[in-house]
Amino acid sequence: MVDGLKSSGGENGNIDITNQPLLRAFRATVAYDGSGFSGSQLQKNDRTVLSEINRALSKVLAHPVRATMASRTDAGVHATGQVIGFRTSSPRTSGELLRALNSLLPGDVRVTECREAGLDFHPRYSALGKVYLYRILRADVLPPMSRNSVFLIEEHKPFDFDLLSSMAGRLEGERDFRSFSPRLEEGEKAVKTIWKVTVREDRPLLETRIIGSGFLYQMVRRMMGLLIAVAGGRENEEALADALDNPEKGKVTYNASPSGLFLEKVLYSDEEIREAIESAGS
């Protein structure tokens, strides 16, 4: 355990903090199957990802903990690279914390990485960008093992993959994305930058990866909902341009199923952004 610095006591009123443990900050990467949760953030009387994490952390560290998250995810949305932050004066190492947490967490949540961070680290406000993945399955039957991790579009239904792919690229750039969100948080800016959108087909899977500086509430789901509606012939191509050129709050009502959506990674440096864009390919 690292000791604190000793200040002089006596008549000057200073407090002797000798042997008091120093506060430490930790950053952990978390993966979860969102199908059994009412979202990621704390909610009264509902099971959420953060409520399970806080419960496990409080037991491991032997004091109450309220971790913070990089990104809010809806009920049913998954994550492979969610990031949390928490502080403690516990002497436990990051490796000990990872093992202890995974021994207490339920099977649908796992800590995949844990390391000490600077006290100025905040999982949300320190983030420079995020990577989301949306998975579509083209099949006549949805395998039971995949029912919570893909969005099924049955083979007999019309679906133009090439059209979806070409339209997805139009999302790239800096613009006001209010039309893809039903609401803005207080003080939230609607202008975001989408650096890269890629669509890959590896039948029967179709995967769309969206890399951007930030995302509004339900923004990715509504983007994908509109793209799927156009590719399926239920909406015309001009609808996307209309939504992008006319950022009216709540304009897009299509909302893709949460089952196909994954928060894949949170980006904290320019290098991580470049690597994410390069690895996404074209």
Q: Tokens 């239920």 — which residue? A: 234
Measured distance CA(111)–CA(232) in Å, rounded: 38
Which amino acid does the sequence have at 16? D
Q: What is the H or E stretch that residue 52 is in?
A: helix 49-61
| C-alpha dihedral sign at 56, 58, 62, 66 | positive
Structure tokens at 15: 């407090």
Specify whether 74 is catalytic. Answer: yes
204: preceding bond cis by omega (within 30 degrees):
yes
Provide, for the chain, the percentages of residues in helix, strand and coil under a 3-state DSSP scheme, each rounded to the nearest 5. 30, 25, 45
- Active site residue: 74, 108, 120, 140, which one? 74
Structure tokens at 13: 């009123």
Active site residues: 74
